């Protein structure tokens, strides 16, 4: 097997500091939460997908998160464009963070992104294949960080579809929230410990 090439650093992107990454995560989470609240305020016909605590829903979310992490690991191993996109993102966002900061990386996007995309947008567009596809594409576009990172957008769109489908199937926002948090925590911890 030929050696795996190292990711090509982007000379146009300066490394971020720990504080910059944490502030950007918090600001993004607040912006997404505000968007969700404004959507619900202006579209009174949309009801937030319920978030109901149950052990089985939490376990389903953990299982889905583990499955997504395993699929990501396989893609990372066999798809060079995805590996380079993932390394670019992980280097930019996770490298400056301390290990305890990864809890915020799991919680903030897991809660805010799921609230907006699966909790508000999906029910507003309709719990149909059309609503699922459109909300998943929007979720993928949110993860766009440059034209060289197109494979990460494709991956995020597919994951958005899985998370949305789990929300439709269960009628419970808890499943995609827990899956998203699990995926973010697991993948970031593994990358951080290896690097």
Mapped onto helix, strand or coil, the DSSP state of residue 7 is coil
- Token pair 């607040």 is found at 30
pLDDT the model gives residue 13? 59
Q: pLDDT means per 10 residues in the chain (195 residues)?
A: 45 79 96 97 94 97 98 95 90 92 95 98 97 98 87 96 98 98 95 88
Q: Report how many helices (DSSP H) and strands (DSSP E) the chain contains, helices first.
A: 8, 0
pLDDT the model gives residue 5? 43
pTM here?
0.90
What are the b/e assignments for 33-72, b being 16+ CB within 10 Å? beebeebbeeeeebeebebeeeeebbebbbebbeebbeeb
pLDDT the model gives residue 14? 73
pLDDT the model gives residue 148? 83
Per-residue pLDDT tens over the stretch 125-168:
999 999 999 999 999 999 988 888 899 999 999 999 999 999 99
pLDDT the model gives residue 115? 97
| CA–CA distance, 155 with 69 (Å, rounded to integer) | 12
């Amino acid at each position: 097997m030929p050696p795996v090439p190292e990711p090509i650093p982007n000379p146009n992107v300066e490394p971020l500091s720990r504080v910059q990454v944490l502030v950007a995560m918090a600001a993004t989470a607040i912006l997404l939460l505000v968007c969700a609240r404004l959507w619900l305020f202006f579209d009174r016909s949309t009801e937030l997908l319920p978030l109901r605590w149950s052990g089985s829903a939490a376990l389903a979310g953990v299982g889905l998160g583990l499955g997504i992490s395993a699929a990501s690991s396989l893609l990372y191993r066999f798809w060079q464009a995805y590996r380079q996109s993932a390394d670019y993102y992980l280097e930019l966002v996770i490298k400056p963070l301390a290990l305890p900061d990864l809890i915020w990386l799991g919680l903030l996007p897991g809660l805010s992104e799921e609230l907006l995309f699966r909790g508000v947008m999906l029910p507003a567009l309709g719990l149909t294949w059309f609503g699922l596809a459109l909300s998943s594409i929007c979720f993928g576009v949110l993860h766009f960080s440059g034209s060289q990172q197109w494979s990460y957008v494709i991956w995020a769109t597919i994951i958005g579809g899985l998370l949305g489908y789990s929300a439709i199937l269960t009628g419970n926002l808890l499943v995609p929230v827990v899956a998203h948090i699990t995926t973010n925590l697991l993948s970031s911890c593994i990358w951080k410990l290896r690097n």
